[in-house]
Chains A and B, each alone.
Chain A
């Protein structure tokens, strides 16, 4: 595997981090536009790390099965936990 994609991914991650740091001052901290932009940037960065550095892009079904099962379990179990936390500790 060539080193080039890794450096390109690294460059993209560095640029996205710089953009992230600029977002609150450009779009204003706490606004809906800022929230949407920051979440999209974080998701893009996480996806780049998973796909290229963790090689998910070239993995087969077995690894994807583990990842998908994890996401499904999190999706099913976290809402009740979130409700419970809000009920007990939220004000």
Chain B
């Protein structure tokens, strides 16, 4: 057998990038199921927010949405930095993205504690259950993203991520932007409608 028989066919994309898109596709189905459950249950109720329960806070979460959009900007700036070979820029923008994700989680934790102390728990009927399921599932994705960014950031700090490894940052960015995109939709459906 010739040595070329085992060589991979030339590809337009890094395998990891296609893999991330396939993962995002399957993950989108998970989010879609949560959102559909929320919408169907909400439409089946005459009164969605139970008596005495607080509505989701729009102002604070609006700020959180803006924060996530800011972190998407810093993520593309990190990609641009690594593509240009700007190691300091990569570390700076990745750090800023990680900080944005962390603050998002802290604000969400504050929001949850505020709602729980006001009597709204995951057991407060379908309103509470779907609210915490949707925002919690998304929050877990943000947490995973912050850890993922942290891992790449450590590599960048050790000088192991240069122009040749730019696809690693691009793949990380795909995940992070997806998390942002999903939140844009969740914010509208759960908080604003």
Name A's B-contacting residues (CB within 8 A): 1, 3, 6-7, 10, 13-14, 17, 20-21, 23-24, 30, 34-35, 38-39, 41-42, 45-46, 49-50, 53-55, 60, 62-63, 66-67, 69-70, 73-74, 77-78, 81-82, 85-86, 89-91
By secondary structure, the A interface counts as: helix
Give 18 A-B contacts (CB < 8 Å), ordered by A residue: A6-B73, A6-B76, A6-B80, A10-B70, A10-B72, A13-B69, A17-B65, A21-B192, A42-B184, A54-B174, A66-B22, A67-B25, A78-B36, A82-B39, A82-B40, A85-B37, A86-B41, A89-B41
Which residues in B have their C-beta under 8 angstroms from that of A66? 18, 21-22, 25
Q: Give the residues in chain A near B69, CB-CB below 8 Å.
A: 10, 13-14, 17
Contact B181 A91 (CB under 8 A): no
B75 touches A38 (CB 8 A): no
Interchain residue pairs A-B with the least CB separation, the first 10: A90-B44, A70-B25, A42-B188, A10-B73, A53-B177, A66-B21, A49-B181, A86-B40, A54-B177, A13-B69
Contact of B178 with A by CB under 8 A: yes
Q: Are A63 and B188 in contact (CB under 8 A)?
A: no
Residue numbers in A under 8 Å from B77 (CB-CB): 3, 6
Q: In the complex the two chains form, is B73's CB within 8 Å of A90's CB?
A: no
- B5 beta carbon closer than 8 Å to chain A: no
Residues of B within 8 A of A67 (CB): 21, 25
Residue of A nearest to B44 (CB): A90
Asked whether, in the complex, the Cβ of A7 is within 8 Å of the Cβ of B36, the reply is no
Are B80 and A63 touching (Cβ within 8 A)?
no
| In contact, B188 and A20 (Cβ under 8 angstroms) | yes
